[in-house]
Amino acid sequence: MELLTDEVWARLDPHAGRLSWRQARRLWQAVFACVVLLGAALYGWRAGLIEPRFEPPSAQNWSAQFDAQAGEFTLHLPLMNQGALTETVLGVGRSGPGLTLLPPVDIFPLTLAHNTGEEVPLRYRVTDCAAVPAGDWPIPVLVSRPWGSVMVELRGPSIGGNTPWQRKLADEACGRG
């Protein structure tokens, strides 16, 4: 069996191996559709359609109160919605080793419109001063979505130094601060 060379094919069909105008048009349509879908996904992510967007607390915009007799502290956490959608917050915070999150006072569900915020009080009882985590301990935020609830995590407020927020506030509540 003898194979035909490229020169023979080029003489038989000068357009061999090239896309037809229909195939080229379909290719460009597919590329355009992919770019549009990628742009829509990026917008959806940045707008908070996929994952809610909350501003993490800075060193200046939070406060705390202590009740050393009861071994409790209250972290006043600013929750700012940076997404394009109105968000319904179902809950904030969690219990952990040495800390018990006390029930909030009729604050949830909390509705936050775009670029609005609310201060959320998180009341903790220190059950074991030594057991409080000394590492990074994010604050979970439970948000309602049409398909169910979504959990996002905020970094705790920066207090200064290398001591994490929960350890510093627990030490104050235990009378060691």
State the pLDDT at residue 60.
66
Q: Which amino acid is at 170?
A: A
State the pLDDT at residue 143.
93
State the pLDDT at residue 59.
60
Which residues of the chain carry a pLDDT beneath 50? Answer: none
* 72 and 37 both lie in a single domain: no
Within a domain: 1? no
State the pLDDT at residue 22.
92
State the pLDDT at residue 10.
74
pLDDT tens digits, residue range 153-165? 988 776 666 778 8
* 30 and 80 both lie in a single domain: no
| CA–CA dist 144, 104 (Å, integer) | 18
Residue with the two structure tokens 């927020």: 165
* 26 and 106 both lie in a single domain: no
| Domain containing residue 163 | 54-173
pLDDT tens digits, residue range 51-69? 888 887 666 677 888 887 8
| CA–CA dist 50, 41 (Å, integer) | 9
* 34 and 79 both lie in a single domain: no
| CA–CA dist 19, 31 (Å, integer) | 15
Q: Which amino acid is at 42?
A: L
